[in-house]
Amino acid sequence: MNRKKDSSPSAVSRRGLLQGAAGAIGMSAALSAFRSVRPALAADVTLRWWSPQSAPAQLEAYKYQIAQFEAAHPGIKVAFEPTSDETYPVQMAAAFASGEVPDIVTHIPSFSVASYYAKGLVAQFDDVIKAIGIDKYYDGANKTYEAGDGHFTGTGIGNTAADNLWIRKDLMEKAGIDKIPETWDELRAAAKKMQGGGIYGAPLPFAKNSATSFVVTTFIHGAGGQLFTPDLQVAIDSEATANALEFYSSMRELCPPGATGYSWGEMITGFVSGATATGYYAGRVLANVNKQNPDIADKITCVQYPTISANVQKTTLNDFPSVFIPKATKNLEAAKQFAAFLFMPEGYIKQLLAAPGHVLPVLRTIAEDPAYMSDPIIKKYPKEVEQMTVNAAKGYNMGFESPKHKPNTKSVDIIASDVLSEMVQRVALNGEDKKMVIGDTAKKLEEIMKS
Amino acid sequence: MSPSLKLPSSSGGQHDPAKEDRLDLTTMPPVIGMSAVGVGQIRKPSWGVSLPTQYSLIGVLLIAPAVLIFALVIAYPLAEAIYLSFFSIYTPTLQGEWVGLANYRAMLSTREFWAALGTNIVWTIGTLVLQVVIGVAIALLLNLNFYFRSLARSLILFPYFVSTVVAVLVWRWMFNDSYGILNRALVVSGLSDMPLDWLGAMPNAMISIILVGAWKYFPFVVIAVLARLQTIPEELYEAARIDGANVWSRFWDVTLPQLREVLIVIVLLRTIWDFKEFDLIYLLTGGGPIAATQTLPLLVYKQAFGMNAMGMASTYAIGIMVVLVTFMVLYLQRTRRGSELQ
């Protein structure tokens, strides 16, 4: 039988159409499969960038850096994905477990990077530091990123003086306080005097989260204690911890009722909005006050947070915001190129000035750059910015409690477990016996260190 | 003449009226995997396989996709969870070692598990009771005739359809101590001198999550109960009125017995769903203060990603599964009994 072939476009049978569609899908699937097994070419690369620092101004700066990088590296795209200070440990854990890791991570504390590196989850960073220029860094800026094997686990993208005491000078004057508090007793008394008329004394957190864990750690240090001995034996069961908890608990009545749910966001908002007379935060307060509550912009200042007595040396909590590359990235070379590019002066300065005084430069060359120094906020608060810069550089955190301490690679597990914030809640909110709670916490820390 | 199915003849031979009333399978084009077989030839082997076997094979073939999907999305994760529960595993690396039943012994001997189970029960019962009471009450109202009834029926479903994250953000805003409407109302009305800590102190935190849970999920009860209310015969109410029953008696003696079956199903289903609730509680309180609102699903999350102990988390998950399976069996028994009665 001869079948006349109709070549008109409209004469396509349904069966033919379906066969065609099936063929197209098959072809497309085959092409996709081919693409997936083909070695990654530059044109295929999309880098995923995670960071917990994602305020609108910072996002703008990142956008600029990404655009510059993409223009200089055709075919490589960068997708920014925000995470948060509270959730990054679980997000990173899930990412590592699934193998679906971001290609580059920035602004998470250095001790987390050390923890991940110790588990073999982080790529060596030596050649990126070399590309940035090791001579451009402040001396010792990369000390917290030195691994036991002689390699670098990452590098700092900045320093942060996280535990400043912010205070309202106008409220001090009104309350008849002539001296910025230097000890806990002075701080408590000042906060009591300034509290009233809808203003609370302080915005300290009492939630089960990392913010509370960080704050209690600084208070333990402020009482002359440590979480661990230099060789990483648990040292929390001490008189210093009991004193720190006593002070922390005594501040509860000077904090808003909702402080039981506070994290970093509420802490800064409390002070910036004028709801509290004092604050506990890093340098972001400067930009936020000037933008969100300019009425108090000339009435604020900051100092290192008070300690139990003048005899205890003041220290500064620096979480050493980092840059690192997960080992499981499929785009290692491109990620390294982007990591180094983040420190190119123009983009890096834009990034730092997106939160002036908050993320402080780790490169000496940048700190001296007129483009950085000419920022209006930095010019307006030179004393505060300089003080934070100097103190942050000498700072510490849980993974690096003192220059004598070994790097604590379990710090991220300690933060994620909430054992420290739970200790605060049990004492400050439940009124449980301090010694018993500290003993329980010490046992839990020992378990984590053994795990 | 009974209807007949005329099939195309491949032979093109003469029409046989004697065959008109029956299906001539010998002339049918072969079906996939099956040769044409005539009536009375059932036992004739094709490819050396009998027809019943061929039917069975086709059955297996047809059910295979469903079985495969079931195996992939239910059986495999379940088996994996059980398998993981015998290991001590560090989550980020998924590396670990065999520990046998140690995780189960640890789970049963730890106070945290029993506390979380107790919290789970308090939350489930608290929110469920409120959901049912509010749901039935609203369903009764929506069953009355009034203007804009259709609009009211649509709007009442809003909490159920809104995303949990959005709902929690709105509630957290309302609970806020500085600018939340609830605290503002309390202070302005003089009921309280100071704002209340709704989410950071007990028993406020538990009451708050129960209230938000009830608000979020009562529309499910409304939908189910309203559907049943609309099928209750009006004659029953008329008979009750003739017997002198007042509104309360009509509800108690007519409506409630008629709702009994649907309420049992609702309670069982919602018990299962509320028991495993995670996002609402986690986003509202994070399980705090301390561990006062930490239910078992939150404990699983804490173990998996807080303590990075995936093996222990799997053990807790199996514990939850055992509880839920109990409810599931009850539910299945109930529905089976219901269908037998029908």
Range with lowest mean pLDDT among A132-141, A292-301, B60-69: A132-141
Residues 6+ apart with CB under 8 A from A55: A284, A354, A355
Collapsing DSSP states into helix, strand and coil, what is residue B7? coil
| Average pLDDT value for residue range A277-303 | 95
Range with lowest mean pLDDT among A178-182, A343-347, B119-123, B145-149: B145-149
Q: Flag whether residue A451 sits within 8 Å of chain B, measured between CB atoms.
A: yes
Nearest CA in chain B to A424: B290
pLDDT at A179: 94
Q: Strand A77-82: give its sheet, edge to edge.
A: A77-82, A46-51, A104-106, A322-324, A155-156
| Average pLDDT value for residue range A69-89 | 92
pLDDT at B308: 86
Length of chain A: 451
Q: Tell me how far apart the alpha carbons of residues A386 and B207 are, in angstroms, rounded to a whole number.
A: 48
pLDDT greater than 90 at residue A400:
no
Closest CA to B123 of B269, B320, B293, B285: B293
* pLDDT tens-digit profile, chain B (342 residues): 343 434 344 444 444 444 444 444 444 444 444 444 444 455 555 567 788 888 889 999 999 999 999 889 989 999 999 999 999 998 888 889 999 999 999 999 999 999 999 999 999 999 999 999 999 999 999 999 888 888 999 999 999 999 999 999 999 999 988 778 998 898 888 888 778 889 988 999 999 999 999 999 999 999 999 999 999 999 999 999 999 999 999 999 999 999 998 999 999 899 999 999 999 999 999 998 989 999 999 999 999 988 889 999 999 999 999 988 988 888 788 777 766 666
Q: Which residues of B touch A273 (CB under 8 A)?
A: 178
Residue A130's identity, in one-letter code, is K
Q: Report residue A174 as tokens.
A: 């009104």
Q: Which residues of A touch B285 (CB under 8 A)?
A: 261
Q: Tell me how far apart the alpha carbons of residues B1 and A45 are, in angstroms, rounded to a whole number.
A: 73
pLDDT one-digit tens code per residue, A9-30:
333 344 443 344 444 444 344 3
Collapsing DSSP states into helix, strand and coil, what is residue A122? strand
pLDDT at B45: 54
Strands (E), A53-163: 77-82, 104-106, 155-156
pLDDT at B10: 41
Among candidates B90, B289, B308 on the partner chain, residue whose Cβ is nearest the Cβ of A260 = B289
Using CA atoms of A189, A191, A197, A200 in order, give the dihedral in degrees to the nearest 10.
-140
8 Å CB contact of A417 and B307: yes
Taking all residues of chain A, what is their mean pLDDT, rounded to a whole number? 88
Nearest CA in chain A to B282: A208
Is the peptide bond preceding residue B203 cis, with omega within 30 degrees of 0?
yes
In terms of Cβ atoms closer than 10 Å to its own Cβ (0-12, 13-18, 19+), residue A157 is buried
Range with lowest mean pLDDT among A164-173, A307-316, A423-432, B13-22: B13-22
8 Å CB contact between B96 and B310: yes
Q: Which residues of B touch A429 (CB under 8 A)?
A: 200-201, 289-290
Chain B contact probe: residue of A209, A260, A415 with most B CBs at under 10 A: A260
Q: Which residues of A touch B292 (CB under 8 A)?
A: none
pLDDT at A170: 96
Nearest CA in chain A to B196: A257
Range with lowest mean pLDDT among A122-126, A328-332, A360-364, A390-394: A390-394
Residues 6+ apart with CB under 8 A from A229: A235
pLDDT greater than 60 at residue A62:
yes
A1–chain B nearest CA distance, Å: 16
8 Å CB contact of A258 and B200: yes
Chain B contact probe: residue of A271, A411, A418 with most B CBs at under 10 A: A418
Q: Which residues of A touch B197 (CB under 8 A)?
A: 257-258, 260
Closest CA to B282 of A209, A329, A93: A209
Chain A contact probe: residue of B305, B310, B312, B314 with most A CBs at under 10 A: B305
Chain B contact probe: residue of A90, A117, A423 with most B CBs at under 10 A: A90
Q: Is the ipTM here above 0.95?
A: no
Q: Tell me how far apart the alpha carbons of residues B276 and B323 are, in angstroms, rounded to a whole number.
A: 10
8 Å CB contact of A256 and B286: no
Q: Which residues of A touch B284 (CB under 8 A)?
A: none
8 Å CB contact between A216 and A243: no
A160–chain B nearest CA distance, Å: 25
Nearest CA in chain A to B286: A208
Beta carbons within 10 angstroms of residue A305's beta carbon: 26
Q: Which residues of B touch A451 (CB under 8 A)?
A: 90, 307-309
pLDDT at A90: 87
Chain A contact probe: residue of B178, B208, B282 with most A CBs at under 10 A: B178
Q: Which residues of B touch A258 (CB under 8 A)?
A: 175-178, 195, 197, 199-200
Closest CA to B123 of B263, B221, B264, B270: B270
pLDDT at B307: 84
B265–chain A nearest CA distance, Å: 36
Q: Tell me how far apart the alpha carbons of residues A336 and A126 are, in angstroms, rounded to a whole number.
A: 10
Nearest CA in chain A to B291: A422
8 Å CB contact between B38 and B22: no
Nearest CA in chain A to B97: A451
8 Å CB contact of B199 and A258: yes
8 Å CB contact of A120 and B93: yes
pLDDT at A207: 93
Q: Which residues of B touch A256 (CB under 8 A)?
A: 177-178, 195
Q: Which residues of B touch A418 (CB under 8 A)?
A: 302, 306
Q: With pLDDT > 90 as the criterion, what percentage of chain A qualifies?
A: 64
Longest pairwise C-alpha distance within chain A: 109
Question: Which A residues 188-227 touch B at CB under 8 Å?
Answer: 206-209
Backbone angles phi, psi at B59, to 5 degrees: -60, -45
Interface residue ranges in chain B relative to chain A, Cβ cutoff 8 Å: 90-94, 175-178, 194-197, 199-201, 285-291, 301-302, 304-310
pLDDT at B46: 57
Q: Tell me how far apart the alpha carbons of residues A19 and A28 are, in angstroms, rounded to a whole number.
A: 14
Nearest CA in chain B to A209: B286
Using CA atoms of A119, A120, A125, A127 in order, give the dihedral in degrees to the nearest 10.
160
Q: Tell me how far apart the alpha carbons of residues A396 and A403 are, in angstroms, rounded to a whole number.
A: 8
8 Å CB contact of B93 and A121: yes
| Average pLDDT value for residue range A92-114 | 93
8 Å CB contact of B289 and A121: no
Q: Is the pTM of this model over 0.80?
A: no
8 Å CB contact of B200 and A261: yes
8 Å CB contact between B324 and B275: yes
Q: Which residues of A touch B304 (CB under 8 A)?
A: 93
Among candidates A257, A425, A430 on the partner chain, residue whose Cβ is nearest the Cβ of B177 = A257
8 Å CB contact of B200 and A451: no
8 Å CB contact of B307 and A416: yes
Nearest CA in chain B to A100: B92
Q: Flag whether residue A254 sits within 8 Å of chain B, measured between CB atoms.
A: no
pLDDT greater than 60 at residue A97:
yes
A422–chain B nearest CA distance, Å: 6
Q: Which residue has the higher pLDDT, A17 or A53?
A: A53
Nearest CA in chain B to A448: B307
Nearest CA in chain A to B194: A257
Among candidates A94, A429, A448 on the partner chain, residue whose Cβ is nearest the Cβ of B305 = A94
Q: Which residues of A touch B302 (CB under 8 A)?
A: 418
8 Å CB contact of A418 and B176: no
8 Å CB contact of A426 and B290: yes
